[in-house]
Structure 1
Amino acid sequence: MSDTKTPGDKTQTRAPAKPLTLKRPIEQGTVRQSFSHGRSKSVLVETVKRRTIGAAPAPAAPTREAPAAPQTTRPAPAAAPTAPPAAARPPAGRSGSGMVLRTLSEQERDARANALADSQKREQEMRALADAEKRARRERDESEQRERDAAEARRREEDDRRKQDDEHRRRASEESRRRAEEDAAARTAPVEAPQAPEATASAPAQAAAPAAAAPRPAPPARPTAPRPGLAPTTPRPPVTARPTPAEPRRTITAEVRKPRDLNFMARPAQVAEPENKTTPTTARQPDGITVTRPARSNATAAEEEPETKRVIRRPGMPLKIITPPKTPKSPGGDRNRGRLTIATATSGEDERTRSVASFRRRQQRMSGHRNDEPKEKIAREVTIPETITIQELANRMSERAVDVIRLLMKQGEIHKITDVIDSDSAQLIAEEMGHTVKRVAESDVEEGLISEEPDLEEDLDPRPPVVTIMGHVDHGKTSLLDAIRKENVVSGEAGGITQHIGAYQAASPSGDLITFIDTPGHAAFTSMRARGAKVTDIVVLVVAADDGVMPQTIEAIAHAKAAQVPLIIAINKIDKADANPQRVRTELLQHDIQVESMGGETLEFEVSAKTGDGLPELLEGLQLQAEIMNLRANEKRDGEGTVIEAQLDRGRGPVATVLVQRGTLFTGDIVVAGAEWGRVRALIDDKGEHIPYAGPSVPVEVLGFNGTPDAGERVVVVPNEARAREVAEYRARIKRDRMTARTGGANRSLVDMMREAKEGSGRRELPVIIKGDVQGSVEAIVGALGKIGNDEVSARILHSGVGGLTESDVTLATASKAVVIGFNVRAHKEAREAAERSGTEIRYYSIIYDLVDDIKDTLSGMLPPTLREEKLGEAQILQIFDVSKVGKIAGCRVTDGTVQRGAHVRLIRDSVVIYEGKLSQLKRLKDDAKEVGSGYECGMSFENFQDMRAGDQIECFRVEEIRRTL
């Protein structure tokens, strides 16, 4: 059956076969590609060739190579196609096999021809590039080879030169050594010596004597070549001595030794002789003495020691040769020759010598350096503080600590080197050792810290005045300052009252600056007002026209008088309908304040912070007062000031508001304020801008303290950190001791607690922990809580500080059962969780009088109540009855008032109270009664008392508890 499909056959059911196709011939090959750094890779290359279908074996039209063919396998350029003969050419559009082929158009043929030409052109360009790269690589390799050859030649030349230098150095050393030996032999040989029989008996001497006796003919002159291993030197003229007729010639065999000088310490260079010499060497001295040296070989010369062999011969005894013992060499060879130093590295190995220190020690030993003469005692001035360790005392005296301990042991005291002794003992020891003593105290660290020297007149420059605003609460101090500065500070104050001290600068109508300090008016902020009055130049007393003189107004007047600063009265709120400025002037007369309008010297101004009336006149009056005072300061000295306020900012750390009073404070200065110190990291003015320095009368915020300083502390610039740390540690210790003495409590001794128990001290204390936003507020709260209380109850401040409530504060409160108070601060997350776990109470306040009122109420609840008796009635016992299972019952008659069950009773016998307690049972006939009136009989029984008798009197009363308040 044929595989071809029959046309028209519709009975065929199998799937039609695929169309017949011809696979394109593919040629495969492997090409190795080279990359940089010596890497290579094998690539499989396939070349597809186009096949022309037809009977004529005519060459196919030129086709483009496959794009995957690499440049390394380039086919030969095809020859120009030749047209086949017309007889053999198939008709157009038909191949030799009878298949119809698509003919190429002229455009396609031109495109193919152009593509072939472009391909050939690219191949030629690539071939030219490859050839150029090959030539460049070859030239580069040749240049590198030339450089390597030149470097090798230079290295060989350097080696040859080094070898020649070593050879010359070795020859020079050998020649110098030889000359030294000859000179030493000439110096050590004796001039006259009797002829010994031993010398004449020796074979070398016998051979040398006739040779020396017979005159030698002069040898013919011949060119002398230098010996190998020796440097060429100028030949020395021979030294000959003609013996006299009376003196026969003598031949002496002498042993040549090196002189005893410092040169014996240098090891001579060991140079191998080029030839073996077995004959003895004879040297002729100027006086006719012939010295014969023993012969030596190369091995003997190489191993020659400073001392050679000695030959001893006695009459009738055989010849004896004494060889000195040789020093055995170390098994490590040259490894044990010492450490590598600059001297050993730069010098040759054959010229190794001893070190300079070795020569110096030898010279000292030879010259008798060690002498036992006692040194002269040096008396020193020893500074002794209040307490000092033995080691430190010995160091200051430049003495041994064991000597100090020995003196203490003579006084009957046993101490270690680290023990601390008092200043008296240290002074006795220092004086006994011959030193002078200078006693100092711990407080001496503050000497010279604040300079008290007055400034020179030419260094003083005008400065802005410092004005403090003072007055009663809610009299408009902050509002008046806001109207001057055109700010709105009042809106940010809690409760509408100022609870912080602030410092600002404002310009007067004339353009001059004025520094204002705003103080709170609440009664608790007395310390703030006093602090403001101390640093100020002028005090402005603000009095409300509708309120008059109040308690804090009187206190401000007292502070101004204590500071001895001028006072200016500002009568505020004159815009109100009920304002009466004349009333204020009259009330001020009671406190020795006479205003200018009433014939006095005190300036007064009627102002209104709401409308702004009178403010220019007030500023002009301040400027006039400042000009009269002639305020000047020196800006060229180190800065000094006062801490007005301090706070702990969680982002910036401790921040202190400082008013500079003298000098200039720069960024980077090291300052001390109380028990805190630090380096000034930044200075921020009242507008929140960073400034590089602050002059006199300028308020700034100082960043950089290691802790929050106390308000009112003096800020001083010190030269270095060591000085600042020393002063701060001393002040911190003093502050801690004062706190311990003031609080007591947790630090009280057992004796104190036993004395209080013996005295029956029933005082109850409320432990409190206070944390506030600024140091001034904390100070005011502590002062306010210290004033409330009495002999029975009081508030005890366990801890106070600035900043948020921490977990340590809660832990301290839990251990001491204290109340935690936060003023304008909040507790951290860890502190809140710890407080919830332990049940510790945390109270938050933003107004100071609310805090004081709550603590006062708490202390009032701790007071024992007052007991007051209210008499109810009297009764008399008529008869005593014994009742089984009950006890004694007193039959009584009520004589006055009423008797109530459960009331307090007193049992009086012969005008003496024998019992005081409660009435437990009250019966009328057989029934229990709640109350029995006068004239009736009843039965009574008392709690825990059975000793009643007929005729005893009974008083019945009721006790009322009255709550006490502070």
Structure 2
Amino acid sequence: MFRSVMLKWLPLKHFKNEYFLQAAETGKDYTKILWNNKRHLSVSSISFKKRKSSEEKAVENQGKRVIRYAPKAGTEVVGIWRNMTVQEIANVLKKDVDHVFKALEFADKNSDTYYKEDTVIHNPQIIRDVIKISGCRFRIIARPDEDIDKEQNKDAVPAPPAPPEALRPRPPVVCVMGHVDHGKTTLLDALRDTSVVDTEFGGITQHIGAFEVTLPSGERATFLDTPGHAAFGAMRSRGARCTDVVVLVVAADDGVMAQTLESVRMARAADVPILVAINKIDKPGVNIDKTLRSLAQHGLLCEALGGDVQAIAVSALKRLHLDTLVEALILQAQLMDLKADPGGYVEGVVIEAFVDPRTGKQATILVQRGTLRKGCVIVAGNGWAKVRVLQNSAGLSVESASPATPVLVMGWRELPSAGDTVLEVESEKRANEVMRWRHNQRMKEKQESDLEAINIKESEHQAIYKQKLAQKRSLGRFRTRQEGPRQKMIQEDDHPTLSVIVKGDVDGSVEAILDILETYDDHERVRLELVSYGVGQVTPNDVEVAQAFNAIIYAFNVECPPGVARDARAAGVQLAQHNVIYKLVDAVRDQLSARLPRRRHEEPLGEANVLQQFHVSEGKKKVPVAGCRCVKGSLVRNALYRVVRGQDVVYEGKLASMKHLKEEVTTIKRDMECGLRFEDPNFIMQPGDTVVCYKMVDVSSTTSWDPGF
């Protein structure tokens, strides 16, 4: 029921703070009103109790309809968020806590909650009502302190070390290292009864492989096979960092080589024990003692010479003494007491990553902690995956992978890089957060590097500008003219350049090729520009990019679909396919050399000694003629000549006449005498001078780049 009343007008400030207006009507009724934009007051209820004091305690609704205060447009806007405390509301309103308590008595009158300063208000409608009652408008924002925490903690990090009671024994991880062609893969084939070495291009290993082997004793071990070629140093370093024991394979016939010493340095840097396997002892004439002494000279003292490094002489091809090597490995693993936590979140390392044209993105992972199962969400570098398929080293599907187990993982959204740390996260949402955070970090690093380059360019520009400005001021009213029309200000870069696109079968191979290309140092003669690179087959996009940049596509160990090959031929794009890394590098060197300008080279033809100088009549004039004998090669009439007197060159030019026995000839052979007259009639030769006959030929230049192998 509503009735009209006479109202006493109060100031707007009083209206906002007290929420009541007093009626001028006879009696002591107070009425709740709504102030609208038309400055009218409307009655909503007349059944309120009289206020007991200036600080009202509670308003009894008694089933009556209540209309809350709506702030007027133009009032202050404050930011609110979910689960605010009473103190946080007071802070954003810039009022004391008592004010919020008063507002809460009206905004949450149907609740028995006893509010304190640190009470969290979970109902967002109550927070909004308190803001409205306080005469302010609101907007939803993120919690300020949460932004800082998320910025610091968005990346996935390894879990703390597991307690000792959670650790369980695990198989050892053994990395086989050494120089190229010393028999590393053959040794692994002998241990696991396979023949991988027969499938390798060029007879060398060009990938890092991870294999789980059951030894004759029944013990299990994981072996990492690393390439021995100089180009794959990054793969060897990666294998040494994630291993427990390094087996250094040294051929008894070759001895210690460059990559042998590099493997020793990497093993020491990773602080892992070394076990030496002296291979190829079946070859005749090998000297094992010489190999041991050579190792000792480089700081690797074996037990036979009084050191603490085990050295076992084996023959991988003939399978000799392999049981002794296995026993030494098992003993070393037992001494190390290798353990890991099979529970908790998964941690590991990416051994290799590649793209299969049929099954998509794949990565070989060595699990180091936890148990990897189907359905796990993992992040690694710039990629993440929800594990769909797990395959062991034999290619069989498995349900889980325990610590020290290599496994092939399928289900990657983005392909990781070899060597990336693998971490398990709670959900796909969390994985996306980690990827965004890492992307932002990369962008920040790129901005910093770009800013540094911009500052350098700006300082160079300022220096040139100040120099030109000083020169302009020194000329006074005399101004220099522009050199040519404005169109000539844009000059094309005609410097010889080789643009390349690299596609590889696995991430490690692409990494090795890029590392080799980074050693190129002959940019002054011909530039080498890397347009793009990637893992997987050659795609139509690669052909388009190559056509735009006039680049050559180098495909290493990958197929090129027939349709893409036809498009490349039609577009005039050169596609070079290789399966041995040093042949690919040789092809790049040849292309660089082909782009160098041809140079003029002096090719000697013959040499003659001057015996006598005399003059002959030619018409009415006397001309000087040198009587010579050819002592080397032959003299050619139309060639170039140089006269050497002592150590000095006194004349260079062409002949005007070459005669033998008064006959004009074109060639003088060795031990023949002749008369030579030069084009310059004023040049007089002397007996004892040496005449050198030569011609200038164009020869191809060769780049000075040395990739190191």
* Fold match (TM-score > 0.5): yes
Give yes or no for the alignment of 1:633 onto 2:340: yes
In structure 2, the residue matched to 1:169 is none
Give yes or no for the alignment of 1:602 onto 2:335: no
In structure 2, the residue matched to 1:767 is 499
The 5 Å alignment of 1:248-263 reads: none
One-letter amino acid of the structure 1 residue matched with residue 518 of structure 2:
G
User: What's the offset of the Cα at 1:700?
Assistant: 0.2
Q: Distance in 2 between matches of 1:566 and 1:513?
A: 19
Q: Distance in 2 between matches of 1:853 and 1:373?
A: 76
1:353-384 alpha-carbon deviations (Å, 9 max, x no partner):
xxxxxx9999446xx846889999978899xx
Give yes or no for the alignment of 1:820 onto 2:553: yes
Give yes or no for the alignment of 1:648 onto 2:385: no
Give yes or no for the alignment of 1:567 onto 2:274: yes
User: Is residue 771–residue 804 contact of structure 1 (8 Å, CA) maintained in 2?
Assistant: yes
Give yes or no for the alignment of 1:722 onto 2:429: yes
Q: Distance in 2 between matches of 1:759 and 1:892?
A: 53
In structure 1, the residue matched to 2:297 is 590
Give yes or no for the alignment of 1:472 onto 2:179: yes
User: Is residue 343–residue 369 contact of structure 2 (8 Å, CA) maintained in 1?
Assistant: no
Q: Distance in 2 between matches of 1:758 and 1:858?
A: 28
One-letter amino acid of the structure 1 residue matched with residue 373 of structure 2:
F
Counterpart secondary structure, 2:590? helix
1:587-636 alpha-carbon deviations (Å, 9 max, x no partner):
10121000011110111111121232221221221121112212111111
User: Is residue 508–residue 623 contact of structure 1 (8 Å, CA) maintained in 2?
Assistant: no
In structure 2, the residue matched to 1:340 is none
User: How many residue pairs were aligned?
Assistant: 529
> Unpaired runs of 5+ in structure 1?
1-258, 263-358, 383-396, 400-434, 879-889, 941-948
Give yes or no for the alignment of 1:805 onto 2:512: no
The 5 Å alignment of 1:159-178 reads: none
User: Is residue 924–residue 939 contact of structure 1 (8 Å, CA) maintained in 2?
Assistant: no
One-letter amino acid of the structure 2 residue matched with residue 858 of structure 1:
Q
User: Is residue 495–residue 847 contact of structure 1 (8 Å, CA) maintained in 2?
Assistant: yes
Q: Distance in 2 between matches of 1:858 and 1:750?
A: 32
Cα distance change on mapping 1:613 and 1:893 into 2, 3 Å:
same
Q: Distance in 2 between matches of 1:846 and 1:870?
A: 39
One-letter amino acid of the structure 2 residue matched with residue 861 of structure 1:
A
Q: Distance in 1 between matches of 2:559 and 2:641?
A: 51
1:364-417 alpha-carbon deviations (Å, 9 max, x no partner):
46xx846889999978899xxxxxxxxxxxxxx999xxxxxxxxxxxxxxxxxx
User: Is residue 922–residue 939 contact of structure 1 (8 Å, CA) maintained in 2?
Assistant: yes
Counterpart secondary structure, 2:367? strand
Give yes or no for the alignment of 1:782 onto 2:514: yes
The 5 Å alignment of 1:686-701 reads: 686-701=393-408
Q: Distance in 2 between matches of 1:813 and 1:851?
A: 18
Q: Distance in 2 between matches of 1:514 and 1:573?
A: 23
User: Is residue 154–residue 433 contact of structure 2 (8 Å, CA) maintained in 1?
Assistant: no
1:783-824 alpha-carbon deviations (Å, 9 max, x no partner):
233335524335432222221111111222222222222222
User: Is residue 472–residue 543 contact of structure 1 (8 Å, CA) maintained in 2?
Assistant: yes
Cα distance change on mapping 1:789 and 1:765 into 2, 3 Å:
farther
Cα distance change on mapping 1:522 and 1:681 into 2, 3 Å:
same
User: What's the offset of the Cα at 1:568?
Assistant: 0.3
Counterpart secondary structure, 1:479? helix
The 5 Å alignment of 1:252-291 reads: none
Q: Distance in 1 between matches of 2:224 and 2:179?
A: 15
What's the TM-score, normalizing by structure 2?
Answer: 0.64
For residue 537 of structure 1, the aligned residue among 231, 244, 258 is 244
For residue 707 of structure 1, the aligned residue among 408, 414, 419 is 414
User: What's the offset of the Cα at 1:533?
Assistant: 0.4
Cα distance change on mapping 1:528 and 1:442 into 2, 3 Å:
farther
The 5 Å alignment of 1:897-908 reads: 901=638, 903=640
Alignment root-mean-square deviation, CA? 5.0
Cα distance change on mapping 1:854 and 1:446 into 2, 3 Å:
farther
Cα distance change on mapping 1:519 and 1:398 into 2, 3 Å:
farther
For residue 592 of structure 2, the aligned residue among 835, 856, 859 is 859
One-letter amino acid of the structure 2 residue matched with residue 815 of structure 1:
A
Q: Distance in 2 between matches of 1:952 and 1:864?
A: 39
Q: Distance in 2 between matches of 1:912 and 1:550?
A: 50
Cα distance change on mapping 1:896 and 1:817 into 2, 3 Å:
farther
What's the TM-score, normalizing by structure 1?
Answer: 0.48
Identical-pair percentage: 37
User: What's the offset of the Cα at 1:720?
Assistant: 2.5
One-letter amino acid of the structure 1 residue matched with residue 434 of structure 2:
V
- From the two aligned structures, give the one with the greater strand fraction: 2
One-letter amino acid of the structure 1 residue matched with residue 429 of structure 2:
A
One-letter amino acid of the structure 2 residue matched with residue 817 of structure 1:
N
Q: Distance in 1 between matches of 2:146 and 2:197?
A: 56
The 5 Å alignment of 1:127-526 reads: 363-364=65-66, 369=69, 444=151, 449-451=156-158, 453-526=160-233
In structure 2, the residue matched to 1:831 is 564
User: What's the offset of the Cα at 1:556?
Assistant: 0.9
User: Is residue 381–residue 438 contact of structure 1 (8 Å, CA) maintained in 2?
Assistant: no
Counterpart secondary structure, 1:490? helix
One-letter amino acid of the structure 2 residue matched with residue 766 of structure 1:
L
Bigger relative contact order, structure 1 or 2 (CA pairs below 8 A, ≥6 apart) = 2
One-letter amino acid of the structure 1 residue matched with residue 497 of structure 2:
E
Counterpart secondary structure, 1:787? coil
One-letter amino acid of the structure 1 residue matched with residue 433 of structure 2:
E
Q: Distance in 1 between matches of 2:658 and 2:282?
A: 79
User: What's the offset of the Cα at 1:680?
Assistant: 0.8
User: What's the offset of the Cα at 1:723?
Assistant: 3.0
User: Is residue 657–residue 677 contact of structure 2 (8 Å, CA) maintained in 1?
Assistant: no
> Unpaired runs of 5+ in structure 2?
5-60, 83-91, 95-141, 465-488, 616-620, 629-634, 686-690, 705-709
1:728-752 alpha-carbon deviations (Å, 9 max, x no partner):
3454576689899999xxx9x9999
User: Is residue 891–residue 939 contact of structure 1 (8 Å, CA) maintained in 2?
Assistant: no
Q: Distance in 1 between matches of 2:150 and 2:276?
A: 43
Counterpart secondary structure, 2:334? helix
One-letter amino acid of the structure 2 residue matched with residue 832 of structure 1:
A
Q: Which has the larger radius of gyration?
A: 1
Q: Distance in 2 between matches of 1:806 and 1:437?
A: 46
